[in-house]
Amino acid sequence: METYKGWRLKCESAQVPCSLDGQLVARLEAHQDDRVPSSRARRESISQLRPSELGGKEAPPGYQRLTMATDLKQLPTFDELPNFHDFTGCAWDVWGKDDELGTINLLTEDVVREAAKEIKLGKSICLNWPVNFPNKPLFHRQQPHWEIWSKGPGVNDDAIHINTQSGTQWDGLRHFGVHKYDVFYQNTPSEFFQRGHIVISDPDNVDRQLIKYGIHNWAQHGISGRGVLLDIVRYYTDTEAGGALPYDPWTTYGISVDVLQDCARRQGVTFRWGDILLLRVGFMRRFYAATQEERDDLGSGKQETLAGIEQSEDMKRFLWNNHFAAVASDQPAIESWPPKGPHMHQTLLALWGMPIGEFFDLEALSKACAEAGRYTFFFSSWPLNVLGGVASPPNAAAYL
């Protein structure tokens, strides 16, 4: 396959039919223009920017973008996606040049309605770690600060100051770009984003550049659909011989596609497009069993070492070709750390627009799924509606 600076020759096989459970047609709407009140002038000056105007490259003669997929049956496979320079699998054109939702586009009304059928027991399970934890965050992030004070007789207020990526979280599209080229989703250059203290006071006059690709897009759409738990811990430990994990979750270890697929097979799971994939690799289990000294040592500033999904082309194919809407794990980085190759974050967030969930507390869900004998459920998450936010606690729950 010939490539040129992130482009490839147009071919008839750019989009191929794929089988679906039902006819699911994507409802692609101009979310960015309808969600946030702003003046028409600002919408035209900011939201109409194309990747080329944001520092990207136009296709050279003879090369053409993928056509936007308007039917889920015509989504390209991973190997049909163009390259971005030396990065394989760039999906910027799958949802259209102005898209700000990424793979959340897969969560159509039909997909959500079908997923609601997973609620059979009426049991709800919180997937959020308390905001207070971890008290000593990893990756040099600031500690949560919680304060309560009296407003007068019989009245209390409190304030919570957190780094949105210190505990249970969704990584948003403003969080991680392609480091080598310093660009984010839709080829947006790093200098596009304003940093520092940002004040938005006028709901009728919101500067699009302050909020483009922000977490509010997912907050206003919602991340709701069929959740699937791949319980890697039980995959290894629930055996007749009483098996053990072949790795320490707090050490560098790459979990392969073969393990994920075999775990799904053993659990009786068949993936559907738009599934929200949850991976229990054992970080939380290890945390709860550790001493406080061991827990504090995690956030001591030393190099983090974590078991997680491997960095590989096979893993990219697995995640893209199953067309998951989002992927989350009980560990702090979702992937093996430190990475042995380019971060999977760069592909999932910057090239696909796929939400990455970290520090999800899956312990109660693991027990409930094992008791129910099924590992699919209705999943619902409503991130903080912060205009232009980089990340957010997920406010997530599973319903069996």
Output the domain CATH number for residue 340. 3.50.30.50
> What CA–CA distance (Å, rounded) separates 266 from 275?
18
> What CA–CA distance (Å, rounded) separates 340 from 342?
7
* pLDDT of 270 over the 70 cut: yes
Residue 86 located in a structural domain = no
- The string of DSSP codes covering 212-238 is TT-THHHHHH-EEEEEEEEEHHHHHHS
For 32, the token pair is: 């960015």
Identify which of 71-75, 120-124, 390-394 has the greatest average pLDDT.
120-124
Residue 109 located in a structural domain = no
> Residue 316 in contact with residue 84, Cβ under 8 Å?
no
Residue 124 located in a structural domain = yes
How confident is the prediction for the chain on average, in pLDDT? 81
Total structural domains within the chain = 1
Give the DSSP H/E element, type plus range, for residue 115: helix 109-115
Helix residue ranges per DSSP H, the chain: 31-34, 40-42, 109-115, 208-211, 216-221, 232-237, 257-267, 283-289, 292-298, 313-321, 344-345, 363-372
Helix, strand, coil tally for the chain in percent (to 5): 30, 20, 50
Task: Please give the pLDDT value at position 30.
Answer: 32
The alpha carbons of the chain give a radius of gyration, in whole angstroms, of 21
Residue 394 located in a structural domain = yes
Task: Please give the pLDDT value at position 339.
Answer: 84
Task: Please give the pLDDT value at position 207.
Answer: 85
> What CA–CA distance (Å, rounded) separates 298 from 288?
13
> Residue 93 in contact with residue 359, Cβ under 8 Å?
no
- The string of DSSP codes covering 254-313 is EEPHHHHHHHHHHHT----TT-EEEEE-SHHHHHHHS-HHHHHHHTSSSPP-BEEE--SH
* pLDDT of 49 over the 50 cut: no
For 215, the token pair is: 């977490």
pLDDT tens string 161-185: 888 888 889 988 888 878 788 898 9
What is the length of the chain?
A: 400
Residue 207 located in a structural domain = no
pLDDT tens string 89-111: 999 999 988 899 999 999 999 99
Residue 295 located in a structural domain = yes
Task: Please give the pLDDT value at position 18.
Answer: 33
| CB-count burial class (<10 Å; 0-12, 13-18, 19+) for 393 | buried
* pLDDT grade for 140, boundaries at 50, 70 and 90: confident
> What CA–CA distance (Å, rounded) separates 131 from 311?
29
> Residue 133 in contact with residue 167, Cβ under 8 Å?
yes
| Cβ-count burial 132-158 (b if 16+ within 10 Å, e if not) | ebbeebbeebeebeeeeeeeeeeeeee
* Sign of the Cα pseudo-torsion (282, 284, 285, 290, in order): positive
Q: Are strands 276-280 and 326-329 parallel, antiparallel or unpaired?
A: parallel
* pLDDT of 116 over the 60 cut: yes
Residue 259 located in a structural domain = yes
> What CA–CA distance (Å, rounded) separates 238 from 185?
40
Residue 306 located in a structural domain = yes
Q: Region 124-150: what's the mean pLDDT?
A: 87
- Residue type (1 letter), 234: R
Task: Please give the pLDDT value at position 196.
Answer: 81
> What CA–CA distance (Å, rounded) separates 226 from 275?
5
pTM above the 0.85 mark?
no
Is the bond leading into 393 cis (omega within 30 degrees of zero)?
A: no
pLDDT tens string 346-382: 999 999 999 999 999 999 999 999 999 999 999 999 9
Q: Between 70 and 333, where is the model more confident? A: 333
* Sign of the Cα pseudo-torsion (185, 277, 169, 233, in order): negative
Range of the domain at 319: 117-132+162-173+213-399
> What CA–CA distance (Å, rounded) separates 317 from 312?
9
